[in-house]
Amino acid sequence: MIESGNRIPSVGIKLVTVAGVEDTTSDAALGQGTVVLFSVPGAFTPTCHVNHLPGFVANAAKMRASGVDRIVCAATNDHHVMKAWAEATNALDDIVFLADGNTALAQALGLDKDMSGTGLGRRFARAAMIIRDGIVDAVFVEDAPGVTASGAPAILMALEAAA
């Protein structure tokens, strides 16, 4: 699993932004400035949709005030699903969505999780990280169901503590 001090790997991904969908690489999307990346098992899934994403939308201004240049939500859904989720939640003004449909980034980060038992296949583990100029500053991975360590309040506290 990726750790503090590691560089973000370079794999092909799709970004969903206000401007549309863009093919790029993970290091290009996450490698400049201060980035908060949070990963969810799936768009529109109950915990991700109700508990994880909304906290980042609600705290986006506070994170930016703490020096964050970009907030990115990653999931192993395709870019069509990620775009629909971004639009349905009105989050595109605050969050960039990263589609990792083939789990290439999840695997490269060591944050992939086999959720075949629930019919979801391989997915991102629920996690978050603070990245500064392409180098991981801190990683927060949930060790139980729910959103605590990787939620917006915990990341905001970590950002404020580092300031």
Q: Which residues are catalytic?
A: 48
How far are the Cα atoms of 18, 21, 54, 102 from residue 25, in angstroms, in the given order? 18, 13, 26, 13
Burial of 103-125, coded b for 16+ CB within 10 Å and e otherwise, reads bbbbbbbebbbebeeeeeeebbb
d(CA 130, CA 14): 20
Task: Name which of 37, 29, 89 is nearest 58 in CA terms.
Answer: 89
d(CA 76, CA 158): 26
Task: Please report which helix (H) or strand (E) contains residue 112, including its range.
Answer: strand 112-114
